[in-house]
A and B are shown apart, each in its own frame.
Chain A
Amino acid sequence: MISTQQSARRIRETREQGLVQTTANGDARLSPQADELCNESSTPSQTYLKGKRLMRRSRTQAPNLEDDGYLIARMRAGDKDAMATVYDRYRGIVYAVALRVLGNTTAAEDVLQEVFLRLWRNPNGFDVERGKLPAWLAVSARNRSIDVLRQRPPEDHIEEFAISSNIDLEDGLARTEAVEKIRAVISQLPNEQRKSLEMAYFDGMTHSEIAAKTGEPLGTVKTRIRTGLLTLRKAFQ
């Protein structure tokens, strides 16, 4: 059950997906699909759900020129507008990761710059068929931030990884919901387990360093990290 306020926000997002049209004299009006949507829906929840269906239908019927894969293809062709669109879409997640690791806005801005510049210089480094762009950018930001933290030279590539296909990161609204769910799962992890994961991932600490800091045996740290990762995986299966 979603609240009226949430519904209003989602309807607004629905409009932004193209259900509002502009007439010849510059007035805005609803598209026939949106008109149908508003006439037939009696509650905000129904309106929202129907809007999502319409958006999905429109995506399957015609190519979406704003899809990540299409933007990457344009970047490969040297299209700077596509780069700007990708930056505007994912600057928040990249900056947040860098800031979380480095705790310093200047250093985080540098990492932000490096991550997007690297994508611009080598768009082929991201494989559209194998990965999801926001995840690739977030991991790239994390790894580069750890390199900065450890004063290591940047790596040329990031390792391959596989994210559950149940996580939709391309759709703006779905991505927000996915991030909320990830955060909820992490917050429900046992405290020590979560801390071990965060120390390893965001502080770049090795398991020996974590064991030394927490006073826990090495085996315990190992187990906590693996169990934590598997709990995250299970939540999206």
Chain B
Amino acid sequence: MTDHSQYAETLALYAMGALDNREERVELEAHLQSCVECRMELDALRGDAALLALSTVGPMPPQRSRERLLGAIESEPRKAPISRKFVLGVLHPRWLAIAPVAATLLLAIFSLMLWREDARLRHNLDKAQTTLSTQSQQLQEMQSIRDQIQELQLIRDLVKARNAVHMTLVASKWPAQPQAKTIYVPRKGLLLMANNLQPLPGDKVYQLWLVPADGSAPMSFGTFKTDPSGNAVMHHPVKTDKRPKSFAITIEPEGGSLEPTMPVVMGPAG
């Protein structure tokens, strides 16, 4: 990183035209090409040096100098003078003196507009980032749900496949026992897998009930029938977030019932 102070003294010499060290001059001129700050300081130093010129006083030049100059001007090829009316259109220097102030004012207004625009854009950017973050989170949740659904579909397809080999292993001294397994996720779904259930007549169905932990009435979670081997798989969409105390299966007329009909043919183990 270049330090401007290292050029301070050579810059003053350069402004006076008194820097005769070629290497220093080349280095300084290279630096000036890229450094606005040093170029401004150079202009200021030249302005300081100009005060030396302005300090000189002496005799007035002889009258012949004036005549010589005006004579030379007469013989100078110049474009024809334009009308005074046109010249009057030139801005008066006193007004020109206001120009830097006006320019500064305009610059300040422009800067203020830029600042406000910047603040507005930053606000919009923050909002966009917040929205993006929320949407990203929702996308992750949806992805997770989709993964779970796919997994459930795979399980269901596996269990319901026509060529699936269903085999229930029990203690060798005991006959095959009816059993059912439930997988329940509040607000998402329920999967039931049953084996060795007794096939029902055509006007009867099995109905699954959720027995809530809060003691309220049992809720129907759908009806199902078994295949000839007594196996069944049922997927039931769930909108409730009831916590289950247990699940129960009853035998109901075709179409299901609003309330379970006793007895409960399958309940929680133990």
Measured CB to CB, the residues of A under 8 A from B are 59-60, 63-64, 67-70, 73-74, 77-80, 83-84, 87-88, 91-93, 95-97, 99-100, 108-109, 112-113, 116-117, 120-121, 128-129, 134-135, 138-139, 141-143, 146, 159-164, 167, 169-170, 178-179, 182-183, 186, 197-198, 200-202, 204-210, 219, 222-223, 225-226, 229-230, 232-233, 236
B54 to A93, Cβ gap below 8 A? yes
A178-B54, A223-B9 given as contacts; is B20 within 8 A of A206 (CB)? yes
Residue of A nearest to B11 (CB): A226
A92-B60, A179-B57 given as contacts; is B52 within 8 A of A186 (CB)? yes
The B interface is mostly helix, strand or loop, or mixed, namely helix
A205 to B19, CA, bound (A): 9
The A interface is mostly helix, strand or loop, or mixed, namely helix
B94 to A95, Cβ gap below 8 A? no
B9 to A222, Cβ gap below 8 A? yes
A200-B18, A205-B18, A207-B18 given as contacts; is B96 within 8 A of A229 (CB)? no
A128 to B91, CA, bound (A): 11
A161 to B43, Cβ gap below 8 A? yes
> Which residues, 5 to 64 on B, are CB-close (under 8 Å) to A?
8-13, 15-21, 40, 43-62
**Contact count band on B:** 35 or more
Q: Which stretch, B82-90, B233-241, B258-266, touches the partner chain A?
A: B82-90
A170 to B94, CA, bound (A): 11
Measured between beta carbons, the chain A residues less than 8 angstroms from B78 are 78, 120
Q: Which of B8, B54, B65, B94 has the most CB of A within 10 A?
A: B54
Measured between beta carbons, the chain B residues less than 8 angstroms from A207 are 13, 18-20
Residue of A nearest to B66 (CB): A87
